[in-house]
Amino acid sequence: MTAHTGTLTGTGYDVKAVRACFPILEERVHGKPLVYLDNAATGQKPQQVIDVVETYYRSINANVHRGVHTLSNLATDAQESAREAVRRHINARHAHEVIFTQGTTSALNMAAYGLGSLLLKPGDEVLISTMEHHANLVPWQMACERHGAGLKVIPITDEGELEPEIGRFLTERTRILAITHASNTLGTVNPVKEIVAEARKHGITTVVDGAQAVPHMAVDVQDIGCDIYVFSGHKMFAPTGIGVLYGREEVLDRMPPWQGGGEMIDRVTFAKTTYAKLPFKLEAGTPHIAGIVGLGEAVRWMAAHDLRAMAAHEARLLEHATRELGAIDGLRIVGTARNKVGVASFVIEGVHHYDLGTLLDQQGVAVRTGHHCTQPLLARLGLEGTTRASFAPFNTMEEVDVLVAATRKAVKMLR
């Protein structure tokens, strides 16, 4: 399938061509055209990703690296081609630095287990931020509990930005810094390159959660300089159940496997097991091959488009939504950082976010309500939950207007 390319043409963005790639956008909800604004939870899939997954199951389906027959070789080639596509997409040095996981959560648990075993001892510290998703908090709590280390938290401002001068939170006991690239609740984009550089001055190992960044911007892991960078496929137009842990070769070589089984071994006896080389040492068992193939195709779809133009379009959507939603009486935008991805979280005085989300759904508008797996962040802001609209390259200004009108209508019903 030939990809439709969304580009800046004159002063406009060819959003119609981008929308044409996504069949689900033709659906109707409660008799209304679907306005999908829940992209921070999961992204929609272009037709070419759907096609390649279907083709895999229809004409290739076989296990990888375990057979000499034709289908096994085709499956292996498809998987490793996807690995190379991901390597190029994030500019890793080597394909074997790309480890396939079940998603960001799985990747962060792998990182916490492996780095915790390597680096943590009683009295050491792991540093995270207040705005972390639970997936970049709970695994580090568990690692600290296992090794007698402590969890330290970088505070945020009322605007939703990290407190300045990160270096003052680093101590001689800090062993690991785990930070989100972009907040799923606030949209805040953190200056991870500068943060990583400061941590490396102190010899601190760095982990970056890129789940909300990779769908919205070009990511260069070598430029960032982190030791580990993780993200999910389903937020970047790929299937669910697949993700990536990128790690510098020298770090991954030292990390112990967090799962044992087939594929990750070199030789097994009852007395001792030796492990395979990267990436297989960290990929036990049969992988989600169809998901990997779909991820590779999603990366190719993104590569066929102008990511800067897409990001600029999303920024315009966010600006429009922030302005128009902010004009609603009693509505407050939560997260006003200077640098954001397309996430607009908000609360409305006298209106519960669940009730608002339900009424928006009745009007065909899909948003996310609740704490967004960031309970400590919302506690810092004195909130129990928000309504969150999150944008993708296929969303339009007209859809933002539908969101605003539907919100106004719902507020009149709920007050």
The SS3 assignment for 307 reads helix
Find out whether 224 and 193 touch, Cβ atoms under 8 Å.
yes
Return the pLDDT at 263: 87
Return the pLDDT at 7: 41
Q: Which domains does the chain have, with CATH numbers?
A: 8-33+306-414 (3.90.1150.10), 51-303 (3.40.640.10)
- Catalytic site positions: 373
- Of 208, 238, 321, 276, the closest CA to residue 45 belongs to 238
The CA distance from 180 to 209, in Å, is 5
User: Could you say which residues of the chain have pLDDT below 70?
Assistant: 1-12
Return the pLDDT at 5: 38
Return the pLDDT at 415: 87
Q: pLDDT per residue over 51-69, tens digit each?
A: 999 999 999 999 998 778 9
Long-range contacts of 60-64 (CB under 8 A, 24+ apart): 61/290, 63/286, 63/289, 64/286, 64/287, 64/289
**Does the reported pTM lie above 0.85?**
yes
